[in-house]
Amino acid sequence: MQSNERAVMRVLNGEKLERPPIWMMRQAGRYLPEYRAERAKSPNFLDFCYNTDLATEVTLQPIRRYGFDAAILFSDIFVVPDALGYPVRFEEGRGPVLEPLSNEVVGRLDQAKVEGHLEPVIATVKRLRAELPDETTLLGFCGAPWTVACYSVAGHTTQDQTAARIGSYSDPALLQAFIDELVEASISYLVNQIDAGADALQIFDTWAGVLDDIGFKLWCLEPTRKVVAGVKALRPDAKIIGFPKASSSRLELYVRETGVDAVGLDWTVPAEVAQKIQQIVPVQGNMDPMRLVAGGTALEEGIDYCLDIFSKGPHIFNLGHGVVPQTSPEHVAQMVKRVKGL
């Protein structure tokens, strides 16, 4: 193993480090005052994501402030349906709003437009690799097809994604047609990120945990497997982290069926399950983000617990989901210092 290889990549290659590398999901975000200052320059969120200067700057901000071991591209999972021609917008206080899924909408999707539409994002990846410190891993990402599709069935998020689940039962052919489009576009998008300089990739499946066993296999496992296989067919050395939130009892199945190289664990995954998975692939996680909000002893206990239970195998320290806006930047500094043993 090369001693100068980036720490996160060493873990993804199966190495156990004395101190795990650290980064946070959503580490470039609203908890940072410098992020909020940049965000104010572009009221439209999708325009913000497509602005290479702004997206590069906010991706670099937490690296400058905290020295995280990885930077994750600042973008959004909805750039993929947007690139396909699926109508999507963001509303303040509500989040993504999409035209409800229909055969007419799916019929208008155009794979030929995807690469050109996402050129500004790929330009951001190239800029980031050029400007990041050599030792910092650059992560690209996409949303898992199921999670992206969840917001499309009703046109917005619903409690426990009831609309998407009902839609998957009542019109599975329609959902499958949309999922197939997302799989194809996601493969192209991720390969282009690798070619632009991303060291590794993450697939976010935030809503994997709402599915029953049949749905999990059909809508989570199979589309993710196709994305992973599609990327690796073109870029065999690509390292891919899967994050199927709220899927504790299915994690081993997820790892074995999808072909991911590592798996992110949410904060509800029990230690015995996490340690079993760690014997199969490197793991990432899994401190409760609310401990980071609380700070103090609660934060220190959560950090020490994760460092202890994952100490016998390859581990990337991370939260069990994204950092939330009310988090104190000082608490993040406290976490980084403790994880790094400073």
**3-class state of residue 212 by DSSP:** coil
Angle subtended at Cα 96 by Cα 91 and Cα 102, rounded to the nearest 5 degrees = 125
Q: How far apart are CA 249 and CA 241, in angstroms?
A: 18
Q: What CA–CA distance (Å, rounded) separates 249 from 252?
A: 8
Active site residues: 26, 30, 39, 76, 151
Taking a C-beta distance cutoff of 8 angstroms, is the pair 128, 56 a contact? yes
Phi-psi region for residue 110, left (φ > 0), alpha (ψ -120 to 50) or beta?
beta
Unique residue bearing structure tokens 């055969």: 103
Give, rounded to a whole angstrom, the gap between the first and last alpha carbons of the chain. Answer: 25
For the chain, how many residues are written?
A: 342
- Give, to the nearest 10 degrees, the angle between helix 172-196 and helix 162-170: 120
Contacts (Cβ under 8 Å, ≥6 apart) of 58: 28, 34, 35, 38, 39, 74
**Can you list the alpha helix ranges (DSSP code H) found in the chain?**
7-12, 33-39, 45-50, 52-66, 79-84, 103-108, 114-117, 119-131, 145-154, 162-170, 172-196, 213-215, 222-234, 251-258, 271-278, 289-294, 296-309, 329-339
